[in-house]
Amino acid sequence: MSQPLNLAQARFNMIEQQIRPWDVLDPEILELLSTVQREKFVPQAHQALAFVDMEIPLPAGQNMLAPRVEARALQDLKVQKTDKVLEIGAGSGFMAALLAHRAQRVISLEIQPELAALARSNLQQAGIHNAEVRQSDGARDLQADGPFDVIMLSGSVAEVPASLLAQLKVGGRLFAITGQEPVMRATLITRQGDKAFTTTQPWDTNATRLLNFPEPSRFHF
């Protein structure tokens, strides 16, 4: 069967037209995006969308983050080779694959059994052995492997719960997309000390909600 689109060209266009213009200029990350095959992590029905600037639908009502959001988050987190990473929301496993190339170890939590199995299979087929997918509720289940150098929320939450911040090492970084539609903020929190955190919100985007994280009441009396 012939390829309906030239994958190499489509990948190149994604990097040059979507990712670079979004201030992702770290050469190692651009190289990683050209070598990790995103299309292998996209469901068969949506293969043609693998390099398009959008969230791609996954089973169980979830989505893959847009490519530029994945790339910018990866750049902002400054993952090191010695880092232990916790990801919440494995989806199809693509973000875990990117993180695994940069980190020592990745633990990726996925609440949906169907997606946990998909992510596990995709990572195995990509030959990635330092990323483990656990079927687990990242909003509620604390991981005994913590604390972590990096925590990545691959979806949006109203706000980052204190229980997650408590799982960061001093010097550790957490990335989340926070707030409400129509405009959410990319949020990078760094743990400076036992009770000291700094927060920056360097850019705007939108993303599908992660399940079971608390939503603030919309009603004020």
Rounded to whole angstroms, the Cα distance separating 200 from 128 reads 31
pLDDT of residue 219: 57
Tens digit of each residue's pLDDT (9 = 90 or more) over 23-77: 999 999 999 999 999 999 999 999 889 999 999 999 998 999 999 999 999 999 9
Tens digit of each residue's pLDDT (9 = 90 or more) over 118-171: 999 999 999 999 999 999 999 988 888 999 999 999 999 999 999 999 999 999
* Closest of 155, 111, 151, 150 to residue 133, by C-alpha: 111
The dihedral region occupied by 112, where left means phi > 0, alpha psi between -120 and 50, and beta the remainder, is: beta
Beta strands in 163-208 (DSSP E): 168-180, 183-191, 197-205
% pLDDT > 70, the chain: 95
Three-state secondary-structure class, residue 94: helix
How much is the pTM?
0.94
Is residue 210 within 8 Å of residue 161, measured between CB atoms?
no
| Domains of the chain and CATH, by start | 7-205 (3.40.50.150)
Name the pairing type of β-strands 63-64 and 56-57.
antiparallel
Residue with tokens 């687990």: 136
